[in-house]
Amino acid sequence: MVRSPNGLANAVTVLLALVIAVDVFAVYAGLNIHALLGKLLSTTRRELAQGDDLYGLSGTLQLVCTLATAAVFIVWFHRVRVNAEGFARDMCTMNRAWAVGAWFVPIGNLWLPYRFAKEVWDASAQSTADGAWREVSHRRVTAWWTTWIAALAVDRVGASLYKNAETPQALQQATSVVMLSDLLDIAAAALGILFVRKLSRMQQVNPGS
């Protein structure tokens, strides 16, 4: 049975917008600590501690927002996958359980959700009343997924640099890389909103259908 994904889509949209806001705050906090590290001779311990606290707070907020968004996104992802069977079951080659499981497979989670999303996208393009075959470009799906994976990869590099930094200069470099990952995450969240809204609209059906 096809059920409207709009409620979940709205929730995901709000949460992704919150992710963007928190990432902007993280970039601000990163710029602040980066500047403080660049002028240590004139920076007081109190200023450095405050900058470090602000940076730590931004990281905590990012973690909380990411977990909340991921949970709701996966519920939405499962809903649109179930709906896709009602539009073009033969195009849904992966079991619906992968809507959840694909995100937790080591290494595989770098591409399985993307493959899954493309299947749902293609099947949902067949939701029109006239039954005509339609193909919809994957560019929106690909742009979102590529940017998100890039953000994850850069974040891993930044975290490793930060963990191993032993000098103020090394900390500055690590902070710069982490800020780049934040900027990529902002782009990924914005593209994610476009992906969620478009796919949800593709699954709109006439009342009673």
pLDDT, averaged across the chain: 91
SS (H, E, C) 55-105: HHHHHHHHHHHHHHHHHHHHHHHHHHHHHHHHHHHHHCCCCCCHHHHHHHC
User: What pLDDT score was predicted for residue 207?
Assistant: 40
User: What pLDDT score was predicted for residue 90?
Assistant: 81
d(CA 27, CA 23) in angstroms, rounded, equals 6
First to last CA, the chain: 9
**DSSP codes, 145-199:** HHHHHHHHHHHHHHHHHHHH--SHHHHHHHHHHHHHHHHHHHHHHHHHHHHHHHH
Note the pTM of the prediction, 2 decimals: 0.90
* pLDDT: which is higher, 130 or 203: 203
pLDDT confidence bin for 131, thresholds 50/70/90:
low
**Least confident span in 50-54, 56-60, 85-89, 163-167:** 85-89
For 128, which DSSP code?
S
d(CA 49, CA 52) in angstroms, rounded, equals 5
Query: pLDDT per residue over 134-189, tens digit each?
Result: 778 899 999 999 999 999 999 999 999 989 988 989 999 999 999 999 999 999 99
Say whether pLDDT at 104 is over 50: yes
Query: pLDDT per residue over 28-45, tens digit each?
Result: 999 999 999 888 878 888
User: What pLDDT score was predicted for residue 208?
Assistant: 38
Neighbours of 100 (CB within 10 A): 14
User: What pLDDT score was predicted for residue 206?
Assistant: 45
CA angle 107–89–194, rounded 5-degree value: 60
Query: pLDDT per residue over 106-116, tens digit each?
Result: 999 999 999 99
